């Protein structure tokens, strides 16, 4: 598990560290507010868009192989990004880093799904979430300290040795696995999945800033997604077996992952910028202020399997999502101490994300580990990307009250995701 978790740590640091360093990067490379959002967001979005393909490659050629490829790419690209003098180049590098991390994440998640079972799987995903939380904790602090000290470039340059270390340990310790079924390579399925995810995220990202472009992208996303789904249903060996979404509990788990991760990622960015731009705090101070949320994510991942002794997975998930919504609503009051509301936001993601991720594998076999792992990680990455895109854009476009409007919207969305399964259950009971 150590090399696998180290690979997750590298990615978590890459996502979270940019939030507190963003003001310094914007000033150095002369980025606009929207370009700054893309710099933060493009990593998670490219990760989401390429995870399905990465998982398929792992099924065919070995999940250990794609982990090593991803870590090698991560090391090289971080060096290139650390030396970049153009904002556009840095955005492109961040996008490619997302692709590299997609290979790492796809291999890690599929390996856990294939090699661990029952409560061991819950524990493994708890460690996964805890590691992500640790990276999320260290990222903003490191981002703030390095931005004020030797410079934001060391965020990238310092990640390269960590990726090399993870690769060396993976060669030595990680067992290889692959699907026993020979995967097919349907080019139209691959292209339509990438176009659908990319266009969807672009539409949500630009809906307030550029409505016309967002509308065109939304049409492209819907058409591509419909084409992808219909094609998967016709293929004998689909890229993604769409039947899993009809299994009870599968789709709600995906929705909860998207919403919980989106709210968590958005809160990191929104609170970081709010503390620096409105309260005048330094980047390092903002990073330290975000530490409770990340610690809560890590604790949530560890505590999730323990809490299952007293509550069912569904009831526990509803409870922690409501706590996350309460934390977001609390942030809208702009409390002097943001630690307590951030703890609630972090626990919602830590516990809820762990339980939802575990639920996805309960109805699958080892042969489907790559596909289900891809769906899971697309959900996490897409959730984080969409959260930053939607809620970050609300805060950026609304000059007055943008922060409050963004966190309240996030709270409403999380509440709806928590209560939706309960409302559906009551509706079904009434129909009976």
Q: State residue 432's pLDDT score.
A: 39
Phi-psi group of 210: left, alpha or beta (phi > 0 → left; psi -120 to 50 → alpha; rest → beta): beta
* Number of Cβ within a 10 Å radius of residue 52: 25
Q: State residue 114's pLDDT score.
A: 64
Claim: this prediction has a pTM higher than 0.85: no
Reported confidence tier of residue 343, pLDDT bands at 50, 70, 90 = very high
Please give the Cα distance from 422 to 399 (Å, whole number).
Answer: 37
Range in 82-86, 289-293, 360-364, 406-410 the model is least confident about: 360-364
Average pLDDT estimate for 379-392: 78
Q: State residue 282's pLDDT score.
A: 81
Average pLDDT estimate for 288-308: 82
Find all residues with CB under 8 Å of 188, minimum gap 6, and list them.
Answer: 227, 231
Q: State residue 431's pLDDT score.
A: 37
Q: State residue 365's pLDDT score.
A: 58
| Higher-scoring residue by pLDDT: 234, 372 | 234
Do residues 68 and 167 lie in contact, with contact meaning Cβ atoms separated by under 8 Å? Answer: yes
What is the 3-class SS of 284-351, one letter each residue?
A: HHHHHHCHHHHHHHHHHHHHHHHHCCCCCHHHHHHHHHHHHHHHHHHHHCCCCCCHHHHHHHHHHHHH
Question: Cα dihedral angle (24, 398, 420, 387), rounded to 10 degrees?
Answer: -20
Q: State residue 342's pLDDT score.
A: 93
Please give the Cα distance from 389 to 45 (Å, whole number).
Answer: 10
Q: State residue 366's pLDDT score.
A: 58
Residue 224 has pLDDT above 60, yes or no: yes
Name the DSSP letter for residue 246.
G
Q: State residue 369's pLDDT score.
A: 61
Residue 27 has pLDDT above 80, yes or no: yes
Do residues 404 and 271 lie in contact, with contact meaning Cβ atoms separated by under 8 Å? Answer: no
Instruction: Report the largest interatomic distance among the alpha carbons of the chain, rounded to a whole angstrom.
Output: 65
Reported confidence tier of residue 330, pLDDT bands at 50, 70, 90 = very high
Q: State residue 428's pLDDT score.
A: 41
Do residues 110 and 373 lie in contact, with contact meaning Cβ atoms separated by under 8 Å? Answer: yes
Q: State residue 178's pLDDT score.
A: 64
Reported confidence tier of residue 261, pLDDT bands at 50, 70, 90 = confident
Please give the Cα distance from 138 to 153 (Å, whole number).
Answer: 16
C-alpha dist (Å) from residue 423 to 263, 416, 419, 428, 430: 21, 10, 6, 9, 11
Q: State residue 79's pLDDT score.
A: 92
Please give the Cα distance from 23 to 167 (Å, whole number).
Answer: 32
| Higher-scoring residue by pLDDT: 398, 29 | 29
Find all residues with CB under 8 Å of 48, minimum gap 6, and list them.
Answer: 98, 102, 197, 201, 377, 378, 381, 382, 385
Q: State residue 427's pLDDT score.
A: 45
* Terminal CA-CA length for the chain: 46
Residue 426 has pLDDT above 60, yes or no: no
Average pLDDT estimate for 302-328: 85
Q: State residue 111's pLDDT score.
A: 73
Find all residues with CB under 8 Å of 282, minimum gap 6, and list them.
Answer: 144, 148, 276
| Higher-scoring residue by pLDDT: 4, 146 | 146
Please give the Cα distance from 120 to 415 (Å, whole number).
Answer: 30
* The residue count for the chain: 432
C-alpha dist (Å) from residue 251 to 320, 332, 385: 18, 30, 19
Name the DSSP letter for residue 180.
S
Backbone angles phi, psi at 121, to 5 degrees: -70, -40
Most confident of 90-104, 119-133, 136-150, 355-369: 90-104
């Amino acid at each position: 598990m150590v090399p696998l978790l180290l690979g997750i740590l590298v990615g978590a640091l890459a996502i979270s560290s940019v939030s507190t360093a963003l003001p310094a990067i914007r000033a150095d490379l002369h980025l606009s507010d929207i370009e700054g959002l893309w710099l933060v967001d493009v990593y998670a979005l490219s990760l989401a868009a390429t995870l399905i393909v990465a998982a398929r490659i792992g099924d065919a050629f070995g999940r250990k192989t794609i982990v090593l490829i991803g870590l090698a790419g991560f090391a090289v690209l971080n060096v290139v990004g650390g030396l970049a003098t153009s904002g556009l180049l840095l955005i492109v590098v961040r996008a490619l880093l997302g692709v590299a991390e997609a290979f790492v994440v796809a291999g890690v998640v599929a390996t856990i799904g294939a090699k661990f079972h029952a409560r061991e799987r819950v524990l493994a995903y708890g460690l996964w979430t805890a590691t992500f939380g640790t990276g999320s904790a260290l990222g903003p602090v490191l981002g703030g300290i390095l931005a004020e000290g030797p410079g934001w470039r060391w965020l990238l340059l310092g990640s390269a040795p960590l990726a090399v270390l993870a690769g060396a340990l993976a060669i030595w310790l990680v067992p290889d696995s692959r699907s026993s079924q020979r995967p097919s390579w349907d080019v139209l399925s691959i292209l339509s999945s990438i176009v659908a995810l990319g266009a969807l995220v672009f539409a949500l990202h630009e809906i307030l800033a550029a409505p016309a472009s967002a509308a065109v992208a939304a049409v492209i996303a819907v058409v591509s997604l419909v084409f992808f789904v219909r094609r998967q249903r016709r293929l004998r060996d689909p890229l993604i077996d769409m039947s899993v979404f009809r299994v009870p509990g599968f789709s709600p788990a995906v929705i909860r992952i998207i919403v919980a991760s989106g709210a968590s990622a958005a809160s990191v960015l929104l609170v970081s910028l709010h503390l620096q731009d409105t309260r005048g705090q330094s980047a390092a101070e903002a990073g330290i202020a975000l530490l409770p949320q990340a610690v809560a994510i890590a604790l949530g991942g560890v505590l999730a399997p323990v809490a299952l002794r007293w509550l069912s997975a569904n009831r526990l998930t509803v409870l922690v999502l409501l706590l996350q919504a309460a934390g977001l609503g609390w942030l809208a009051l702009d409390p002097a101490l943001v630690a307590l509301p951030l703890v609630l936001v972090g626990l919602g993601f830590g516990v809820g994300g762990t339980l939802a991720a575990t639920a996805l594998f309960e109805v699958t076999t080892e042969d489907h580990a790559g596909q289900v792992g891809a769906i899971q990680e697309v959900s996490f990455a897409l959730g984080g990307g969409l959260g930053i895109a939607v809620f970050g854009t609300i805060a950026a476009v609304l000059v007055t009250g943008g922060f409050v409007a963004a966190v309240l919207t996030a709270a409403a969305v999380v509440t709806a995701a928590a209560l939706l399964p309960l409302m559906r259950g009551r509706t079904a009971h009434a129909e009976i």
